[in-house]
Amino acid sequence: MSKNAWVTLATNDSYSLGALVVAHSLKRVHTVHQLAVLITPGVSEAMRTKLRNVFNLVEEVNLLDSKDEANLALLKRPELGITFTKLHCWRLTQYEKCVFLDADTLVLRNSDELFEREELSAAPDIGWPDCFNSGVYVYRPSLETFASLLQFAVTNGSFDGGDQGLLNAYFSEWAHKDIQKHLPFVYNTSSVATYSYLPAFKQFGHNTKILHFIGVSKPWLQNFNSETRKVYVPSECYHLANFLQYWWDIFCEDVHSRLSPDMCGLAGALAQLHLGEAKSVEQEAYEEHMRRQCWETGNIDYMGRDSFDNIWRRIQQTLNAGSAGGASDAATTATTSTTSTVVTVAPARSTRSPRSRSSTPKRDARDRSPTPQPEDKVPVEKKEGN
């Protein structure tokens, strides 16, 4: 068995959908290397079970429970929680070399040759190309490097508030020292490259090996027709249509049957789909609500009014009452009710990265950091009655 591994990270059940698709995209291109996923407490027990079926290693990273140096570092710089989560990949010293893949990537062709590169190899970031994008990188697990990264983070922080800023500051020689550490862009082709320089995408895009769905183009946020198994592609994502459909093809063929309704957020909702059949009205309404949340910039009240139970109850009340407004109205109304139920409604958080917090819509659209928000401060319980 290979001593190398592909490593990804899932902080909730929705990002776990991405992680599962990444894993299956790797299996489809017959990688010889192992698959590992880091998870945080935000991932449900049901999802963990499924992840274990697909990944060689499922490793929980629970900063708040740990009493080690990572925790001590975090106490000094609590705003770096997200950043620290990703750094834990350096602790996987059972592997000789790893390639980290964000859960919003999709492997289109066998890329095992990446393991021939040395730490830290990565592709340029489309927003400031003397920085690398931290969605795909080759690294060598090492407790020493991990400790050094932590110390660096505590001392210097992160210029973008996320892992990308930290890693670029730490591996600051990347830009100018060794061309071998510049991965070709086709190993981390940003989905926004389809419009940032369309002629180049048309010229080189067919060589893409790993696509990175950055910003708001996450595949699981697109509307999906369970009857035809086709994704609805927004006009502005036209050039991504094949990639988005491929993601949903893998979802339908390899992931969907492994889901269960006691998963959280969108994963639980999608588990209830019957592929080849039209969605129920409730299903349609619930999914629509989950997705719309992801596009909104306001704060979601995970603790109360936006809990799954409240949304579901309001949808059914509204449908039962025969409201003409239907699903859309119901979901909207639901956000104004309040209870104390504690539920994970994951996708809304998972799409808001540190960078997008203070950004304009224009910058949102180009936001590339896929690292989800930390789960640590949000109590997580399984939703009831599903």
The contact set with its own copies (CB under 8 A) reads 123-131, 159-161, 165, 168, 175-179, 182, 184-186, 193, 195-204, 236, 355, 359-360, 362-363, 366, 368
The least distance separating its own copies from the CB of residue 197, rounded to whole angstroms, comes to 3
> In this complex, which beta carbon is closest to its own copies, that of residue 43 or of residue 80?
80
The least distance separating its own copies from the CB of residue 213, rounded to whole angstroms, comes to 17
The least distance separating its own copies from the CB of residue 307, rounded to whole angstroms, comes to 33
* DSSP secondary structure of 224-289: EETTTTEEPPPGGGGGGHHHHHHHHHHIIIIIGGG--TTS-HHHHHHHT--TTSPPPHHHHHHHHH
State yes or no: cis peptide before 120, omega within 30 of 0. Answer: yes
Q: How far apart are CA 267 and CA 256, in angstroms?
A: 9
> In this complex, which beta carbon is closest to its own copies, that of residue 193 or of residue 244?
193
The least distance separating its own copies from the CB of residue 338, rounded to whole angstroms, comes to 36
Of 237, 138, 150, 212, whose CA–CA distance to 182 is shortest?
A: 138
Tokens of 189: 């082709």
State the helix-helix crossing angle for 163-170 and 143-156, rounded to 10 degrees.
110
Q: How far apart are CA 204 and CA 214, in angstroms?
A: 19
The least distance separating its own copies from the CB of residue 123, rounded to whole angstroms, comes to 8
> In this complex, which beta carbon is closest to its own copies, that of residue 79 or of residue 253?
79
Q: Count of alpha carbons within 13 Å of 310, Cβ hemisphere only? A: 22
* Contacts with 131 (C-beta within 8 Å, 6 or more apart), sequence order: 124, 125, 164, 168, 175
The least distance separating its own copies from the CB of residue 86, rounded to whole angstroms, comes to 17
The least distance separating its own copies from the CB of residue 124, rounded to whole angstroms, comes to 4
* Cβ burial, residue 365 (10 Å; 0-12/13-18/19+): middle
**Cα angle 185, 189, 193; round to 5:** 105
Of 210, 231, 250, whose CA–CA distance to 105 is shortest?
A: 210
Give me the residue label for tokens 């894993």. Answer: 23
Tokens of 43: 């991932």
* Contacts with 251 (C-beta within 8 Å, 6 or more apart), sequence order: 17, 21, 219, 220, 270
Q: How far apart are CA 110 and CA 261, in angstroms?
A: 33
The least distance separating its own copies from the CB of residue 157, rounded to whole angstroms, comes to 11
> In this complex, which beta carbon is closest to its own copies, that of residue 52 or of residue 202?
202
The least distance separating its own copies from the CB of residue 130, rounded to whole angstroms, comes to 4
Q: How far apart are CA 312 and CA 384, in angstroms?
A: 11
The least distance separating its own copies from the CB of residue 134, rounded to whole angstroms, comes to 12
Q: Residue 155 has what DSSP assignment? A: H
> In this complex, which beta carbon is closest to its own copies, that of residue 120 or of residue 193?
193
Of 212, 47, 19, whose CA–CA distance to 126 is shortest?
A: 212
